[in-house]
Chains A and B, each alone.
Chain A
C-alpha cells in the first residue's frame, strides 16, 4: 500500500501489467475415500490493480483455487505464476484474509497482530515496523483499538484488523476468501464500501472469492464466473461500471440476471 505512494509509475501502468497468470489449472484433493476434482483446466490472468472476483456456487472450487494461489496447495495440472515466477509455497507476497474470525492471533493485541507478520517475514527494517503498523490500523479506522485483544472486537472489526495486517505487508496481491460472509448484512455492506475506499486510496491488486452475485458486481472490476463440480470457467466479465449506487439500476439488475443465468440456467433468475 505504501509502495504505491512512493512509486508514481504505478498509476501509468495501471491495468496493463499481468501480475498473476493461471494457466490450465486442475486441482484435485484427496479425502479419505475419494479423489475430488475441485477445478478443471481453469485459466485466467489478473492484471495489476484488478479487483478480480472468483464467483460461483459452493463446490465450484473457488476457495481451493484461492488457496492454490496462496501456495497452500499445488495444482495437479497447469501452472500458476506470479510476476513470472511459479507459485510453489505460501509467502508474504500473497497475503490472505480468511472468512474465519480466528485468523487473528488471540494472544496478540491489534497492533501486535499487524506487526507480527511484518516481524516474522523479515521484509521490513525493524525501526519502521511499528510506524507502518500504526498507519495500517489507522487506514482501516481502528486507531482507537490498537492495544485491544482480538476477543474484545466485533466481527467486522476483526476482519478490518485482518485486512490491515495483510495490507501492511504490501503484498503483490491481496487474497480474500469470503471475508465478509460471516458478518451481518449491514456490517457487510459497510465493509464492502470501506474496502472500495481503501482500494481507491492504495490501489492494491485484489483477488476476492464470493458466492454472492451482488457482492461480486459491487466489489469487482473483473468477475470470473465458475461452474460447479468441478469448477470450470463459464465467463470472465468486466464489472468496472457498477458500485453500491447502481444497486437498483436496470443495468445492474440486468447484469445480475445475466450472471444468475450463467450460474443456474435461465429458469431461476429471481433471487440471489
Chain B
C-alpha cells in the first residue's frame, strides 16, 4: 500500500453505529450480596482477633517446647498468675494507681500543649518558641530527666507526672502544630470571612480541620506516656502504698516470679489495646471517619 492510499483510507468517514441498550432484566446478576465468610473477614475486629489467637498459640507451643517456666512461662501459666492477682485485687490496684498518675500527666500535657500551639499559630514569637523548644526537648528521653525530676520533686507522684508531661507535651504539640499548618488556606479564609479571628479561629476552624493530626498526636502521646510511666515506676515505685504496674513488675522479677512479670506486662498491653481499640477508635468513628477525613 502506498502512503497515498493509507491517507485516503484514513480520511474516509467511518459509518456511525447506534445500538439499543439491552433490557436490564435479561442481563441477570448486576450486583449481589457478598458471601458469609467474606463478610466475616471484612470485620476488622475478627481479623485482629485471629491474629491474637495465632500469636497466643505460637507462645504456648514455644513455651512448652522450651519447658523453662523461670525464663519463659507459657501462656497458660501467665494467665493463671494474671487471674490470681486480678482476683486478689493486687493487679487492679496497681493498674488503677498507674492509670491515675498517667491521666494526671497526660491531661496536664494536653492542656499545656493546647496553650502552646494556640500561641504558636497566632503569633510569630509563639511559633519560634514552640519550634525551638520542640526541637530541643522532643529528642530528650523522659528517663534521662528522671534524676532531675527526683531532685526537684522528690520520690513521689509529682516526679512521675513531670516526666510524663515532658514525654507527651512535645509529641502532641508537634503533631497539633503540624496539623494547624496543613489546614488549607481556603478553609482559613472561609473562617476569617465570617469574622473569626484569633482564639475563635483556632477553636472553630483550626482544631476540627486539623483533627486527624491532633488525634495522631494524642495516640502517640498516650503511648509515650505509658512507656514513661512504666519505666519510671520500674526505677522507684510510687510513694507509700499506691504502687503502680511498673513496681508490680519490678517486685515480681525480684521474687523470680516470671509468670507474674508476664502478667504485669500483659496488663500493660491489655490496657493499651483497650484504649486504642475502644477509646481512640470510637473518637475516630465519631469524628474523622464520619467527616470523610480518613478513608480506611
**Chain A at the B interface: SS class:** mixed
With A106-B293, A107-B287, A149-B290: A120-B195 Cβ-Cβ less than 8 Å: yes
Cα-based distance from A152 to B189 in the complex (angstroms): 23
- B190 located at the interface, meaning its Cβ lies under 8 Å from any Cβ of chain A in the complex: yes
Cα-based distance from A211 to B82 in the complex (angstroms): 71
The answer on a CB contact under 8 Å between A117 and B192 is no
Chain B nearest Cβ from A208, distance in angstroms: 16
Determine the residue in chain B with the shortest Cβ distance to A169. B194
**Chain B at the A interface: SS class:** helix
Partner of A92, one of B184, B194, B200: B194
The answer on a CB contact under 8 Å between A103 and B186 is yes
The answer on a CB contact under 8 Å between B184 and A120 is no
Q: How many A-B residue pairs have CB under 8 A?
A: 66
- A151 located at the interface, meaning its Cβ lies under 8 Å from any Cβ of chain B in the complex: yes
Instruction: Find residues 24-62 in chain B having any chain A CB closer than 8 Å to their own CB.
Output: none
The answer on a CB contact under 8 Å between B292 and A95 is no
Partner of A100, one of B184, B192, B205: B184
The answer on a CB contact under 8 Å between B195 and A106 is no
Instruction: Find residues 61-90 in chain A having any chain B CB closer than 8 Å to their own CB.
Output: 67, 70, 72, 90
The answer on a CB contact under 8 Å between B291 and A149 is yes
Instruction: Find residues 88-104 in chain A having any chain B CB closer than 8 Å to their own CB.
Output: 90-92, 94-96, 98, 100, 102-103
Cα-based distance from A94 to B204 in the complex (angstroms): 20
Cα-based distance from A91 to B192 in the complex (angstroms): 7
With A91-B195, A120-B200: A98-B292 Cβ-Cβ less than 8 Å: no
Cα-based distance from A270 to B184 in the complex (angstroms): 38
- A237 located at the interface, meaning its Cβ lies under 8 Å from any Cβ of chain B in the complex: no
- B196 located at the interface, meaning its Cβ lies under 8 Å from any Cβ of chain A in the complex: yes
Cα-based distance from A141 to B204 in the complex (angstroms): 27
Determine the residue in chain A with the shortest Cβ distance to B187. A102
- A202 located at the interface, meaning its Cβ lies under 8 Å from any Cβ of chain B in the complex: no
Partner of B189, one of A96, A105, A149: A96
With A107-B208, A107-B211: A121-B291 Cβ-Cβ less than 8 Å: no
Q: Can you offer 6 A-B residue contacts whose CB atoms are under 8 A? A: A67-B189, A72-B192, A100-B186, A102-B187, A103-B187, A106-B209
